Amino acid sequence: MVAVAILAAGRGTRMKSSLPKVLHPLGGRSIVEQVLQSLQAISPTRCLVIVGYQVDQVKASLAKIDNVFPFEFVEQTEQLGTGHAVQQVIPYLENFTGDLLVLNGDVPLLRTETLQQLLQTHKEHQNAATILTAQLPNPQGYGRVFCDEGNIVQQIVEDRDCSAAQKQNCRINAGVYCYRWSDLADVLPRLQSNNNQKEYYLTDTVNFLNPVMAVDVEDYQEILGINDRQQLATAYSILQERVKSKWMAAGVTLIDPDSITIDDTVQIQPDVIIEPQTHLRGQTVIQSGCRIGPGSLVENSSLEENVSVLYSVITDSRVAANTRIGPYAHLRGHASVGAGCKIGNFVELKNSQLGDRTNVAHLSYLGDATLGTQVNVGAGTITANYDGVQKHPTKIGDRSKTGANSVLVAPLNIGNDVNIAAGSAVTEDVPDDCLVIGRARQVIKPGWRLKRRGQDLEGRDRGEKE
């Protein structure tokens, strides 16, 4: 039986941010969500998230996520150190007899396999505690772990508390611990705060437990902790490497991968081509045969087969198969475009539903509109959906055509097979199968320029001048 405690109560002073450190975004998830993600395959029996700094904000942010196992919040009202943080779980695990996996909430790149190996080693050796360590080229800032030849931990000394000689030790504490809970519960009350930071260090528990074994991680990149923006950027680029390698191995072409970013939360099918300067974010799903970019942003959206997107922005929207988007289109606010459509240059769609084979090719804004199939929206057609107070809907039936530069003043219902004359301002509903002209009739006045000067058409003076 494994329970988990995630330490996420600290402020993260070195981030110099009003946002709690563990909520900083990292490739589609917050830092602490990324930690939860690494636990999905372990499915702990209990998961206690220790929160403190800006507790409401952290709770609200985590309440929104869709986690496969339940977790509980434990409050640490004063942040007196990592040991003090784990002391807070004692009342929650009173009758618990298994192992407690403790994870720092700011170490987001851990792989599930690494955690599984740690748990297994812990079990096999029946250790009181087993901790994850790494050999770092630059160990500055991390706690140094001192072991005997058998990898049995003697002591962990924080960077700030290290002597110059101790600082030479490159074996560091990753902030990932597996404890036999009954042993840990006994020693937690014995921690003291006689150190540089006057904090209760979790790392001091190794002084009271026996044996504590250290296990080196194979790839030290996994255990990088995030304390400042520089480390956040490093973690982001490591995550990007992983995500892009995964999709390339799965049959996705990335043209100039360094210029592309893909959130860890995105799903991509094989035979998708992603062109340079393209960014895929959030809960985005891209089906086979799509070609995205160059120069595009797709966020929380789903694109069905063979969609192409060129220099465009798509957020919170859905595009059906074989539709072409762009160049320079903007879909947002739950736009939904049917199959075989063309959404062209400088077109903005907001909260609008378009049927199959409907085209909006140039210079349009459609907001809160529902269009049927095979509609042709002429260049410059605009839905006037806002009266200054409220938004109103526009409906256009199948096979209807709007002329260039028409303004559709909502609320408005336009039937099937309707033709709207160019330049019309349509303010009233139009039934099926009609031509509607909503503009002043053109007037032609021959000779108007000369008449005004009092001359006839040949330019002779008509004697009317004053």
Where do runs of H (alpha helix) occur along 228-357? 229-249
Query: If binding is defined by CB under 6 A, does position 80 make contact with ligand UD1?
Result: yes
Query: If binding is defined by CB under 6 A, does position 84 make contact with ligand UD1?
Result: yes
Q: Which does 28 bind (CB under 5 to 8 A by kind): Ca ion, ligand UD1, none?
A: none
* Binder of Ca ion out of 225, 294, 372, 397 (CB under 5 A): 225
Among 332, 426, 411, 333, residue whose Cα is nearest residue 377: 426
Query: If binding is defined by CB under 6 A, does position 173 make contact with ligand UD1?
Result: yes
Residue 228 or 316: which CB sits closer to ligand UD1? 228
Query: If binding is defined by CB under 6 A, does position 293 make contact with ligand UD1?
Result: no
Shortest spacing between CB 189 and Ca ion, in angstroms:
24
DSSP 280-315: EESS-EE-TT-EE-SS-EEES-EE-TT-EE-S-EEE
What are the distances in angstroms from CA 302 to CA 162, 321, 446? 52, 10, 57
Query: If binding is defined by CB under 5 A, does position 106 make contact with Ca ion?
Result: yes
DSSP letter at 42 equals: T
By DSSP bridging, strand 25-26 and strand 29-30 are antiparallel
3-class SS shares of the chain: helix, strand, coil, % to 5: 20, 30, 45
Query: If binding is defined by CB under 6 A, does position 15 make contact with ligand UD1?
Result: no
Sign of CA pseudo-dihedral 219, 220, 221, 223: positive
Cβ–Cβ < 8 Å for 213, 178: no
Query: If binding is defined by CB under 6 A, does position 109 make contact with ligand UD1?
Result: no
Query: If binding is defined by CB under 6 A, does position 85 make contact with ligand UD1?
Result: yes
Query: Of the ranges 4-12, 240-248, 293-301, 407-415, which one interacts with ligand UD1 (CB under 6 A)?
Result: 4-12
Shortest spacing between CB 137 and ligand UD1, in angstroms:
15
Among 110, 121, 107, 106, residue whose Cα is nearest residue 38: 110
Shortest spacing between CB 227 and Ca ion, in angstroms:
5
The catalytic site residues sit at: 362
| Angle in degrees, CA 241, 247, 249, rounded to 5 | 95
Shortest spacing between CB 144 and ligand UD1, in angstroms:
8
Query: If binding is defined by CB under 5 A, does position 299 make contact with Ca ion?
Result: no
Query: If binding is defined by CB under 5 A, does position 415 make contact with Ca ion?
Result: no
Which bin fits 256, alpha (ψ -120 to 50), beta or left (φ > 0)?
Answer: left
Q: Which does 84 bind (CB under 5 to 8 A by kind): Ca ion, ligand UD1, none?
A: ligand UD1
* Exposure class string for 354-389: b at 16+ Cβ within 10 A, else e: bbbbbbbbebbbbbbbbbbbbbbbbbbbbbbbeeee
Among 37, 41, 4, 48, residue whose Cα is nearest residue 178: 4
Among 354, 374, 373, residue whose Cα is nearest residue 364: 354
Query: If binding is defined by CB under 6 A, does position 108 make contact with ligand UD1?
Result: no
Q: Which does 158 bind (CB under 5 to 8 A by kind): ligand UD1, Ca ion, none?
A: ligand UD1
Residue 8 or 26: which CB sits closer to ligand UD1? 8
Shortest spacing between CB 217 and Ca ion, in angstroms:
16
* Binder of ligand UD1 out of 175, 295, 380, 415 (CB under 6 A): 175
Number of residues that bind ligand UD1 (CB under 6 A): 30
The first and second tokens of residue 52, run together, are 């403190």
Query: If binding is defined by CB under 6 A, does position 9 make contact with ligand UD1?
Result: yes
Q: Which residues bind ligand UD1 (CB under 6 A)?
A: 7-10, 22, 50, 76, 79-82, 84-85, 104-107, 142-143, 156, 158, 172-175, 201-203, 225, 227
Q: Which residues bind Ca ion (CB under 5 A)?
A: 106, 225, 227
